[in-house]
Structure 1
Amino acid sequence: MNILGYIRILRPAQWLKNLMLYFPPFLSGVILVPGVASKGLLPVVAFCLTSSATYTLNDIIDSERDRLHPRKALRPIASGCISRTAAFIFAFLLLGSGLAIAAGSAPPRFLLLLGLYFLVTILYSLKLKELPLVDVFCIATGFIIRLEAGGEAFAVPISSWLFLSVFLLALFLSIGKRLTEKHNLGDGAGLHRKSLAGYPDGFLEGAMYLTGGAVLVTYSMYTLSRSHLFYTVPLCCFGLLRYILRVKSGQSGDPTESLLKDIPLLLVSLAWAAIIGWRLYF
């Protein structure tokens, strides 16, 4: 049994996205209340298992196309390290475990949101990722579902400005990732990802600037509704510009990879969290 191959299928680095579930209690100033932080552990685990199930199914669906990609050809299923049948069984076990944990540890609406996340992601893998604009909106929807699921798990309401900020930020990052793919794959971009052939030259770049500016506006409005959080707006501005600089320099636009490997982005993110924590809790 190829243990390392199965671990790679899980894509544990992508679990970082599921920390979005902790945003509502953290930004509401209740994360340090005894019992609150531990309350979200099982819901986060449920999301991690379910998201890994969708990654595995996506790799099964894309295995033939991935073999044509310089990097994705090394994925366990595309490389033949793990068979499609074994991967499908593994995905089924992951999904069943995730749904079972959610059913036993969170409110019913959380389970519905988790099911909706799985449905949107599978439809994305099967067809929607081939449609220009629809592909990036599906990715952004995944982040919004995580945010709403966090609100349900912790019984914390989501403000309108926070909803818009997260949605637009996810859209901004998704567009940046597509722009990087289109640039790096060149003339073969459409062969690897059909939606890339539908984006005219300059469109993704303009859309990235548009959504980046919108994020700054909505986040600024969110901070003005919360005492003293407006001090983090310059950090938000720096982070957006740093990501644009990274994409335009030909580096990876993957949000998780950018955060973990780009030191300035990582430091700004940590500084943002520290200032928010100080203002809300101390």
Structure 2
Amino acid sequence: VDLPIWRASQGAILVGRGMRFEKRLGDVPVVGRFPQQSGPLQAWLRALRLYQWPKNLLVFLPVLLAGPMAGIDDWGEAVLAFLMLSVLASAGYLINDLLDLAADRQHPTKRNRPFASGALPVAHGVIAVPGLLVVAVLLGLFLPPASLLVGFVYLCGTLAYSFFLKKVPMLDAIVLACLFTLRIVAGIVLMTLPWSFWLLTFSMFFFLSLALLKRFTELREVSQSPDRELRRRGYTTDDLALLLSMGSSSGIAACVIFVMYLMEEQFSRSIYASPEWLWVILVLLLYWLGRVWQLAVRGHMNEDPLLFALRDRVSHLIGLGAIVFILLARAA
């Protein structure tokens, strides 16, 4: 569509994939060339968002908490479930980026995504989506049927979120919390152990807090630029106080669920011989939630709090400490 404009101009400026049109310009001089900075491989790695795959490590959580009741086979199936969910997540990200092209191009950071910036052709993304779905199904065939069902529900939830649920305020955050909890469910169905509804309830409140934190951070950034709006979202800057109150209270609710779990001793003594160590995790959890919300209020939080945690040294220490206290709780 740019060719007629270029041919009527005194000069053409070629950017990214526009280099391939140079021979079709005729006598129009090229006054500037801006080739893309990374190759197709790097662009695909960013489009598939491999850096988001660590979120799917939640599938290992039920196997880890099962302790000695989890066998080698359970760990092997958890690896396959992790790969299946990761491939499905990448397919969902591609679909989301293809749907959000116009909105992403207006965003200060999302405009650099491969499809929005033109680093990858949109047609290639359309072809890649069914290919990823086939790979996910093949991985799911090596898992219990329930795992494949969870993967299907996860994909449907991701698509529903991308198409319309992300535009419904509050419901979008609840759906994100459900999608995170489904990752834990994917690990639970691998084993024949009873479901821990304490864990699932805790997960819903905890990830609801983080989903609202993400929305709060995006909205706060918009509030600093009056000429911008949060496209394809149902929030306005008037919702900042509401997101702050609901998000922080959801985090506290997750901590309360954790306290009730410990007080009611809803765990097997064959797993935790010294459960008093688990109380220290409550302190770590309260501190981490308070810290990320404080950083968000001050404008120092990354848009995705989980990605922030993967890069934050304090979060690393807190996570390592939680694992240490779980191991101490298991020790006799």
User: Smaller-chain TM-score range?
Assistant: over 0.9
Give the Cα separation in 2 of the matches to 1:194 and 1:39. 37
Segments ≥4 residues shifted beyond 4 Å: none
Would the alpha carbon gap of residues 33 and 166 (structure 1) be closer, same or farther in structure 2, given more than 3 Å must change? same
- Which secondary structure state, in structure 1, belongs to the residue aligned with residue 88 of structure 2? helix
> Structure 2 counterpart of 1:202, which letter?
A
Aligned residue number for residue 21 of structure 1: 59
Percent of aligned pairs sharing the same letter: 28
Aligned residue number for residue 108 of structure 2: 70
Give the Cα separation in 1 of the matches to 2:201 and 2:246. 16
Aligned residues: 281
> Structure 1 counterpart of 2:177, which letter?
A
Give the Cα separation in 2 of the matches to 1:125 and 1:131. 11
Query: Residue 30 of structure 1 is aligned with which of 54, 58, 68?
Result: 68
Unaligned runs of 5+ in 1: none
Aligned residue number for residue 234 of structure 1: 283
Would the alpha carbon gap of residues 253 and 84 (structure 1) be closer, same or farther in structure 2, given more than 3 Å must change? closer
Structure of higher RCO (CA pairs closer than 8 Å, 6+ residues apart): 1
Q: Map residues 61-210 of structure 1 onto 2, 5 A cutoff.
A: 61-102=99-140, 104-186=141-223, 187=226, 190-197=229-236, 200-210=239-249
The answer as to whether partners of 1:136 and 1:171 remain within 8 angstroms in 2 is yes
Give the Cα separation in 2 of the matches to 1:207 and 1:17. 23
Which structure shows the bigger proportion of residues in helix conformation?
1
Aligned residue number for residue 330 of structure 2: 280
Give the Cα separation in 2 of the matches to 1:174 and 1:194. 14
Aligned residue number for residue 248 of structure 1: 297
The answer to which of 258-267 and 28-37 deviates more is: 28-37
Unaligned runs of 5+ in 2: 1-38, 268-274
CA-atom RMSD in angstroms: 1.9
> Structure 2 counterpart of 1:182, which letter?
L
The answer as to whether partners of 2:167 and 2:233 remain within 8 angstroms in 1 is yes
Give the Cα separation in 2 of the matches to 1:18 and 1:26. 14
The answer as to whether partners of 1:175 and 1:208 remain within 8 angstroms in 2 is yes
Q: Deviations over 1:2-60 (max 9, x none)?
A: 11111111111111111111111111213774443223111111111011000011011
The answer to which of 14-23 and 199-208 deviates more is: 199-208
Larger Rg: 2
> Structure 1 counterpart of 2:305, which letter?
P
Q: Deviations over 1:119-173 (max 9, x none)?
A: 0111110111001011101101101111111101233333121111101001000
Give the Cα separation in 2 of the matches to 1:172 and 1:95. 30
Q: Map residues 209-224 of structure 1 onto 2, 5 A cutoff.
A: 209-224=248-263
> Structure 2 counterpart of 1:275, which letter?
F
Report the TM-score when normalising by structure 1.
0.93
Residue 43 in structure 1 maps to residue 92 in structure 2 = no
- Which secondary structure state, in structure 2, belongs to the residue aligned with residue 148 of structure 1? helix
The answer as to whether partners of 2:213 and 2:243 remain within 8 angstroms in 1 is yes
Residue 12 in structure 1 maps to residue 62 in structure 2 = no
Q: Deviations over 1:73-126 (max 9, x none)?
A: 000000011111101111211111012211x22111111111011001111101
Residue 262 in structure 1 maps to residue 321 in structure 2 = no
Give the Cα separation in 1 of the matches to 2:101 and 2:213. 24
- Which secondary structure state, in structure 1, belongs to the residue aligned with residue 235 of structure 2? helix
